[in-house]
Structure 1
Amino acid sequence: LTRKLSSLPPLWVIKKHWDGTGSEASTPPGSPEPERANASGLEGALDRKKKKRGSLSSLYHGPGGAKLSKEVLNNITIFQRKQKKGTIDVWWLYDDGGLTLLLPYILTTRSNWSNCKLRIFALANRRDELDMEQRSMANLLSKFRIDYGDVIVIPDAMRKAKDSSKADFEALIEKFKTSDNTGDGVTLTETELLSQREKTNRHIRLREMLLENSMDANLIVMTLPMPRKGHVSASLYMAWLDYITKGMPPFLFVRGNQQSVLTFYS
């Protein structure tokens, strides 16, 4: 025991190392390197972000090569950015095979849209059908294994649109109107407007419902209305779509080919 105690270093040497005043304790090997590595990594990330922003602004241009605003660039690159917590509103107006449901559901399974919940909107012609339509829609979604946040069935879809909304639509199509009843596919005749007044009212009413329910959505996905060939001119059809989407959040029209893309048998 005396021999082992005599082999120990003096007490002042032990105290010196314990206090960190020794040369080895005061300069731990390699300690500054991680800090320098982290700083350089942060600088590299900032440089890459600046380069990416610069490349986007150089990639997209307006008419005549004009520089686009930041808001326009953000709208163009919406699917490349991480979305904040919100909703994807799906307006399933017609049974097109389920593509209108499938695409937004696939979006929510990706990291950029994982913070967004699906809200499914459907239309009911009568208020007494509201509960039945809502239950059947929820049952259908559960069979398809579609993870959704809410199902909303809106009644009175065919109700007469407001006079102010009609006036806005009339102002939109005013320059395309003509008194000549021989339509050329571009101009709008009085005969066509009268024959399509019910469908026009439906699309005006649809915009009113969008304003009431989906103005805060991250993305709106809607079944694309299909016109009857030879009955609706290109100008009136595009006026419908333009009026529905005017001033709305990012909007995606989808139309399937009536073949089912959803199944609960697999």
Structure 2
Amino acid sequence: MDMCLLVAKGITDFPSSAFKLTGFIDVYWIVQDGGLCLLMAYLLKQHKVWRGCKLRIIAIAQESDNNLKMQSELQKYVYQLRIDAKILIVELADPEISKNAFERTLLMEERTMYLKQMQESRRENNPLSFSRGISVSLVIAENQEKSENNDDEPPERKTTLGKGSKGSRESLEEESGSDETKKKESMKARLLALDRTKVHKMHTAVRLNEIIIEHSVNSQLVLLNLPKPPRGKDGLDDYIHYLEVLSDKINRVIFVRGTGNEVITTDS
């Protein structure tokens, strides 16, 4: 049976019927879905909880798109539907893939690996053993906080180094520098070994999330197209991670996915 799917993030933060909200309901027009996201937002506004909110349609444009034409067509479309909505066109620039996208992909790969290890250990009734030393997430966190810790020397080293221990101090500094270099080289090798398709998908999710945070971080609700789910279980963990990145730091989100046959007509 063909059915539409709605997935809510932050369902515990959704208001009860006793509240009357004001602010914005933002619909992100990322792909053409026949107007289903817009229809959902319009129906929500008929309820007293959301009636005081203003509707905004934020269309994501590529560099090759004609922004003025897109805005004009969308404005005409919502006018014909008799929906009061403000139209915003936001260009999704495609700069070089950021380090953040690589690191998030690496974390996703690590999490998937650990989940598989846990599933295998449950089947075998054996305790889970982590063969890899320091997890990638800890390495990334250490790199991010390195600037804060550069000036802090461990107290153990301070108490053991005296005036005549210049050689020992230099030896320890060389050893520390060598370890840091090895960590950086190991991290670089892991980043380069990542699946480029996954990295590009993660880059898109990161960029879209940056746009959503810029325009809708204080909005009462955000509606997004739900990407096509994987057919099998193998890609499910990656899929969930993409959704988490896409909606990161946004309290209330409704993902909407139709059957592909929905058409909201403008005929009277």
Deviation, structure 1 residue 246: 2.5
Q: Which amino acid aligns with 2:44?
A: L
SS of 2:195's equivalent in the other structure is: helix
Match of 2:196 in 1: 194
Match of 1:265 in 2: 267
Distance 2:231 2:107 in 1: 25
Query: Alpha carbons of 1:192 and 1:167: their partners in 2 closer, same or farther (altered >3 Å)?
Result: closer
Q: Which of 112, 131, 147 pairs up with 1:176?
A: 112
SS of 2:66's equivalent in the other structure is: helix
Q: Which of 143, 152, 159 pairs up with 2:80?
A: 143
Q: Could you tell me the TM-score, scaled by structure 2's length?
A: 0.60
Match of 1:82 in 2: 19
Q: Which amino acid aligns with 1:167?
A: E
Query: Do 1:85 and 1:115's aligned partners in 2 also have CA atoms closer than 8 Å?
Result: yes
Q: Which of 242, 245, 251 pairs up with 1:243?
A: 245
Unaligned 5+ runs, structure 1: 1-71, 185-189
SS of 1:113's equivalent in the other structure is: coil
SS of 1:94's equivalent in the other structure is: coil
Deviation, structure 1 residue 237: 0.8
Q: Which of 234, 237, 255 pairs up with 2:236?
A: 234
Unaligned 5+ runs, structure 2: 1-9, 121-191
Distance 1:226 1:93 in 2: 13
Q: Which amino acid aligns with 2:92?
A: D
Identity of aligned residues (%): 26
Query: Alpha carbons of 1:202 and 1:119: their partners in 2 closer, same or farther (altered >3 Å)?
Result: same
Aligned residues: 184
Distance 2:35 2:194 in 1: 32
Query: Alpha carbons of 1:110 and 1:93: their partners in 2 closer, same or farther (altered >3 Å)?
Result: same
Query: Do 2:105 and 2:199's aligned partners in 1 also have CA atoms closer than 8 Å?
Result: no
Query: Alpha carbons of 1:220 and 1:166: their partners in 2 closer, same or farther (altered >3 Å)?
Result: farther
Query: Alpha carbons of 1:97 and 1:153: their partners in 2 closer, same or farther (altered >3 Å)?
Result: same
Deviation, structure 1 residue 157: 4.5
Q: Could you tell me the TM-score, scaled by structure 1's length?
A: 0.60
Deviation, structure 1 residue 86: 0.1
Match of 2:39 in 1: 102
Deviation, structure 1 residue 141: 1.2
Q: Which amino acid aligns with 1:258?
A: G
Deviation, structure 1 residue 234: 0.8
Deviation, structure 1 residue 119: 0.9
- The worse-fitting range, judged by mean Cα deviation, of 218-227 and 123-132 is 123-132
Higher relative contact order, structure no. (Cα contacts within 8 Å, ≥ 6 residues apart) = 2
Query: Alpha carbons of 1:127 and 1:156: their partners in 2 closer, same or farther (altered >3 Å)?
Result: farther
Distance 1:233 1:167 in 2: 19
Q: Which amino acid aligns with 2:110?
A: E
Query: Alpha carbons of 1:73 and 1:259: their partners in 2 closer, same or farther (altered >3 Å)?
Result: closer
Query: Do 1:160 and 1:201's aligned partners in 2 also have CA atoms closer than 8 Å?
Result: no
Match of 1:155 in 2: 91
Query: Alpha carbons of 1:146 and 1:79: their partners in 2 closer, same or farther (altered >3 Å)?
Result: farther
Query: Alpha carbons of 1:160 and 1:257: their partners in 2 closer, same or farther (altered >3 Å)?
Result: farther
Q: Which amino acid aligns with 2:244?
A: D
Deviation, structure 1 residue 128: 6.1
Distance 2:29 2:56 in 1: 10
Distance 2:109 2:218 in 1: 27
Q: Which amino acid aligns with 2:261?
A: Q
